[in-house]
Structure 1
Amino acid sequence: MDVVLAVLRPKQSQATQSQSYRPQLYEILLLDSKTPQGEKVKPAKYLPMLPMKTVEEEPRELVLTQVYRLTGIKGERALQVQWNQDVPGSLRESLSQFCLFFVPVSLNDKVNKKFVEQAQNTPGFYPLEYVNEALANGSVHFPSPTRTFLSHLESWLRDKHQRSTAIECMFRPRAEFRIHLTVHNPAFIPSRITPEGEGASSSKVAQLPPKIQLTANEALAKMLAIEKCDTVVMNPLFGSGLPYKTKVNSFEVNDHWLRMPNYRNISIPSPPPNNPSASRWREKFPLHAFAAAGDKEEVGILLKKGYSPSETDSNSLAPIHYAAWYGCISVVEQLISAGCSPNTVDGENSTPLHMAAKKGNVQLAQCLLRRIDIDLNIRDKDGKRAIDVCSTVHNRTSRHEQVEQLIKDAAQRPNLSIEVFLMDNSSKSLQLSSGYKTTVQQLNEQMMKEFNLPMKYSDIFTLWICSKSLELQLKLEHEVVKELQQWHTRSVNMLTEARNPSEEEPSLKWRRNVKVSVDKEKQVQHPKALDLLFHEAYYNYINGLYPCKDRDIVTFASIIFAIQHHGTGSVKSVLSTLNMGQLKEMIPAASLRNNQLSHWIKQISKEYNNVKDIPQQQLKSHFLSICQRLMVYGSAFFTGNITSHQRKSSIPSAPCFVGVNDLGIHIINIQTKQMVESLEYGEIVWKHIFERSLLEVTLIKPESRDGRSPRGLASRGVYEIRTRQAGLIDHLMQQLKRMHGDNVVR
């Protein structure tokens, strides 16, 4: 994911107090793409960006660090700008790989020349009205994403200006800056912050607004009024107008202070119903609100609309934390089924199991401990596991003892198991030898032992995760339970256009390793290994992923018929009574549409005489050997839309399967199951265009045929494959070309 930065600086101090938005109030940071001298090219400017490796990273520190690297300015804070309802759904989806962060900086913050000189693309602040004018008249080139983000930023700022004090709070000086000016030492001398003071520190403070100076002096007066305080705990956000949680990280108790609050009873805040901030919270986080209320029906509706079951709110709490705290067990189960991990932590690193321990909620603990991926060893901010919370909780009851015993029993139970499917729809139940940390390699080793396969075949098969719209081969080091857990929330959301990710139920399958060449596969002799390969080849053939000629289809169908009716006496009578339903198990549906039922029965009957006496295992080997001659055999398949651009014409976009194997790339029309193009690595070049989720494949031909590498290449056609899986396809093609591309011949 890429983080886009919108760094804004007010032109005047009154800008942040305006109730109406005007571009003239602000300047925005843009990077200047340097244009080579002598070229008549429009200057290009764009918003700064930085990559974020994983969705779990905390972006605030990354964002502010990047702003400092570019400008030498320490930003006030980083606020994520959410997409609102005015942005079309399709555009939001196309920009889902970006997140926009608003970084307000002070009126007095200037770009440091030293940082500018070191930058590859010169950063600078530009009046926002100039930027809008350049966008309108085209005098400056702005990349498409930057144009979109600038437009959305204006809409967001306009909305914030209409909310009382919202802009003023966002541009308020940094918390650490306010702390620096807060009186927290009795020896502090008031004259140090007055405009009349002398020295570097006083000149710096003299530039501060009078309100801040007055606040500091008032704080000193209050400080002096406190008699004999050894320790004073200060909250840097107090009085700032910024939201903060009603929780404390540490506290000092003054036994002489009357009406002392009981900090141990402070719990997750539940905003009062008449509180305006509570209404805004419910509007912004409806899934959290309904989860807290235990409204299973509304939670289900929001999940179907695409709300993430793992999103955290402004209190760093996910919906499952609210459901767990308020004992809404059916909602907890619903959120976990939608892809939320039972190990999700809040801002204090507490899991739902910690909450069950604090509350002594036996039913909640039972619900969570039934999960195979539950982690009993996660420690909260105080270093306590859930079982530790049970034994140290204030006002411990018998219910806490029951939860403690449930956790102890869960820790001692035998290894849990997971189901792995084969391509013939049978399955094996495997032990999770390392619990939820069990890797693909560990399960692969178990599968090898299950079928008594020799170790030389250890790289022929591996684990895949498959659902309706996506099939991914896992790496050996992947933790299987974690990948299953993140399937809905990460894999399906990032790599497909599925409207309802919760319907993409994942399953583990043990299948052919796409990185294995057909030449190596041909060396397999073990009967069970051949049987596994046969069932996968049959699955791909019958589902139209192996487009082939009619004569091959007749051979395949006769082999399948002979296998299905092996040992049957009256085969001729069975042939004569074949119906469409039976033929669908032997012939791909797309081919059945093209010819009459009688035609296929007649052709299969003739060919059957050639294979009827061959033993079953040899029939499967024969089926495989024919498949292995197909260019597309052994491919990993992806989905997308293809557009073909030839020299004089373009073919409209059409949905397609994209097969990638040791030979090259193979494009199949999803509707007709016809091969659009089958291209070897030696006759194509390709590139992945990340911003457009596009794989561009260019067909080439040598200028000479003398066997030597040509100096020039002439384009014959370009194929554009638009898919969220373009990055996966590109990566796999590069790997396979490097491993096999120059050596494989079938």
Structure 2
Amino acid sequence: MVVRLKLNIAASVAPLEVCVYLMSQQAVRLQADDGAELTATQLQQCVMEEEDLGLPPLAAQVFGIWMTSSHLEIQLKPHHKPFHIRREWRTLLSKYSSADEEQVLKDEPIVSFQRNVFFSKKDEMKIRDPRVLELLYEEAKFNILEGRYPCEASDYDMLAGLQARLELGAFDAEIHTPDFFRSHISEYLPDHVISHSWSLISKIGGKASAEARIIEQFRSIPSGATRRKLVRKYLEFCWSLPYYGSAFFHSQVEQPTRSVLSVFYRPDVPVLVSINGHGVYVMDKVARTVLLGLSYDELAWDFARPCQENIRDCMPCIFLQFQAVEYGMRVSKVLQVFSKQSALMDALISSCVEEIKRRTLRYGDEMDAPLFDASDVDDALVPLTTVTRREMPDSCLSNKLHRLTLATFNEDGECIKKMGSWSFSK
């Protein structure tokens, strides 16, 4: 669900019209008499009270108010005032994004009603309200199609088949032809999957083509499958992804180099850092694959400000440290992630760790309960397989340390291997 605020920044007293857009493109218009002073909590309540949506009180815990653009995404705290955040948006972009001056001037953020990053997946899996599940499905589908939830090619096909059934109804061979899906392919698969599929020119139109794979999945869904089960099946798959329900941060990491001189000629790799209540994940922004994924019990982190803050290209960073075994010796690896959003990442990681501590005290051993309730799994539908692939070297869920510039420390804290800019440190 997306909320667009058409704000007249010069008018701080006049009523504001708020247009609420669901990710399904459904729109709701709201009128806020004192819109400039409306808090995120009050705006959320206005959305929830809209009769056509029919959301239950539980939705106040599941969803939150965000302000986002292609450069910056922020979940607002309950007391934040969206009008004030919008008025200061250019300042926030200058501080927390790498947008240039022209991009800052043209940027138009949206206020979004989307999943609360602090809402636990364990609690989400207990939800039965179809209206809440539909909103979660729409958001999960958006993240899948944007490539923010990397998964295997066969998984994308399976999800596309579920989506087709949900949106098109039962399979009809006369309507749902390869030509039909070829002309709508971007609605069912992420761009990086489409570009890879179309690069295999010899396979276009054959059994291995993207449209043929979607049709195969689509037609395999039992005719008696209900919408509720299909929505839940889609979400169950997404719940199996460790980075489900994350906040995303635009960042960059150094490419590995073979010599000290080559560090000057290799641009940094753009990455998305995905942070949720389970851990931190560094994803290649182009290839849409996980380079490094660490749960909170596997990592230590630190935030560092740039040594020359007045220089635009000198960015703050987050250090991610984790244990590894190398040549039979236990060592520590450290990845340096550069981002103007490092302070935001540091704050979110700290909040997630504190939340884990609170939940551990509250639930105790229940924190280790199985991810899925077997009674919810419909054996007639496609089985969940992604979780079992995490140890496969070529899996999108496997760490790819060879593609990262890492420093290595022994158990005494001595740096025994340096790469990239680490090579210049003492």
2:196 matched to 1:601?
A: no
* Equivalent in the alignment of 2:393: none
Amino acid at match of 2:320: V
* Equivalent in the alignment of 1:672: 287
Contact 2:273 2:283 in 1 (8 A): yes
1:727–1:628: structure 2 CA closer, same or farther, 3 Å change rule? Answer: same
Contact 1:340 1:485 in 2 (8 A): no
* Equivalent position to 1:694, from 300, 312, 317: 317
Q: Secondary structure at the match of 1:578?
A: helix
* Equivalent in the alignment of 1:443: 43
Aligned alpha-carbon RMSD (Å): 2.9
**Distance apart, 1:668 and its partner CA:** 1.2
Amino acid at match of 1:725: Q
Amino acid at match of 2:234: F
* Equivalent position to 1:584, from 167, 173, 186: 186
- Distance in 2 between residues matched to 1:469 and 1:668, nearest whole Å: 17
Once the two structures are aligned, what percentage of the paired residues are identical? 23
1:551–1:716: structure 2 CA closer, same or farther, 3 Å change rule? Answer: farther
Q: Secondary structure at the match of 1:672?
A: coil
Larger radius of gyration: 1
Q: Secondary structure at the match of 1:476?
A: coil
* Equivalent in the alignment of 1:509: 112
Question: In proportion to residue count, which structure has more strand?
Answer: 2
- Distance in 1 between residues matched to 2:288 and 2:336, nearest whole Å: 19
Q: Secondary structure at the match of 2:161?
A: helix
**Distance apart, 1:737 and its partner CA:** 1.9
* Equivalent in the alignment of 1:643: 254
- Distance in 2 between residues matched to 1:628 and 1:434, nearest whole Å: 39
2:34 matched to 1:424?
A: no
* Equivalent in the alignment of 1:726: 342
Q: Secondary structure at the match of 1:720?
A: strand
Contact 2:176 2:215 in 1 (8 A): no
Contact 1:686 1:695 in 2 (8 A): yes
1:648–1:625: structure 2 CA closer, same or farther, 3 Å change rule? Answer: farther
* Equivalent in the alignment of 1:456: 58
Contact 2:63 2:116 in 1 (8 A): yes
Paired residues, number: 330
**Distance apart, 1:553 and its partner CA:** 1.2
Contact 1:634 1:661 in 2 (8 A): yes
TM superposition score normalised by structure 2 = 0.71
- Distance in 2 between residues matched to 1:697 and 1:431, nearest whole Å: 45
**Distance apart, 1:542 and its partner CA:** 0.4
**Distance apart, 1:430 and its partner CA:** 2.4
2:147 matched to 1:536?
A: no
* Equivalent in the alignment of 1:632: 243
* Equivalent position to 1:492, from 69, 93, 96: 93
- Distance in 2 between residues matched to 1:440 and 1:642, nearest whole Å: 34
* Equivalent position to 1:565, from 168, 177, 194: 168
**Distance apart, 1:594 and its partner CA:** 2.3
* Equivalent in the alignment of 1:682: 297
- Distance in 2 between residues matched to 1:559 and 1:579, nearest whole Å: 14
- Distance in 2 between residues matched to 1:662 and 1:647, nearest whole Å: 36
2:123 matched to 1:520?
A: yes
Amino acid at match of 1:417: E
**Distance apart, 1:662 and its partner CA:** 1.1
Instruction: Write the deviation string for residues 178-227 of structure 1: whole angstroms up to 9, x where unpaired.
Output: xxxxxxxxxxxxxxxxxxxxxxxxxxxxxxxxxxxxxxxxxxxxxxxxxx
Contact 2:39 2:78 in 1 (8 A): yes
- Distance in 2 between residues matched to 1:498 and 1:437, nearest whole Å: 28
**Distance apart, 1:716 and its partner CA:** 4.1
Contact 2:283 2:292 in 1 (8 A): yes
2:210 matched to 1:610?
A: no
1:612–1:469: structure 2 CA closer, same or farther, 3 Å change rule? Answer: farther
Q: Secondary structure at the match of 1:455?
A: coil
Amino acid at match of 1:520: D
Contact 2:316 2:338 in 1 (8 A): yes
1:573–1:475: structure 2 CA closer, same or farther, 3 Å change rule? Answer: same
* Equivalent in the alignment of 1:468: 70
Contact 1:463 1:509 in 2 (8 A): yes
- Distance in 2 between residues matched to 1:744 and 1:636, nearest whole Å: 23
1:611–1:648: structure 2 CA closer, same or farther, 3 Å change rule? Answer: farther
Gaps of 5+ in 2: 1-5, 307-314, 361-366, 372-426
**Distance apart, 1:549 and its partner CA:** 1.1
Gaps of 5+ in 1: 1-336, 343-370, 376-409, 704-712
* Equivalent in the alignment of 1:213: none
- Distance in 2 between residues matched to 1:559 and 1:458, nearest whole Å: 28
1:529–1:579: structure 2 CA closer, same or farther, 3 Å change rule? Answer: closer
* Equivalent in the alignment of 1:268: none
- Distance in 2 between residues matched to 1:666 and 1:644, nearest whole Å: 17
**Distance apart, 1:536 and its partner CA:** 0.5
**Distance apart, 1:585 and its partner CA:** 1.1
Q: Please list, as runs of the form range in 1=range in 2, the aligned pairs for 1:72-471 lying within 5 A after superposition.
A: 341-342=9-10, 371=11, 374-375=12-13, 415-450=15-50, 451-471=53-73
Amino acid at match of 1:731: A
Amino acid at match of 1:635: S
TM superposition score normalised by structure 1 = 0.41
- Distance in 2 between residues matched to 1:640 and 1:560, nearest whole Å: 31
Contact 1:663 1:744 in 2 (8 A): no
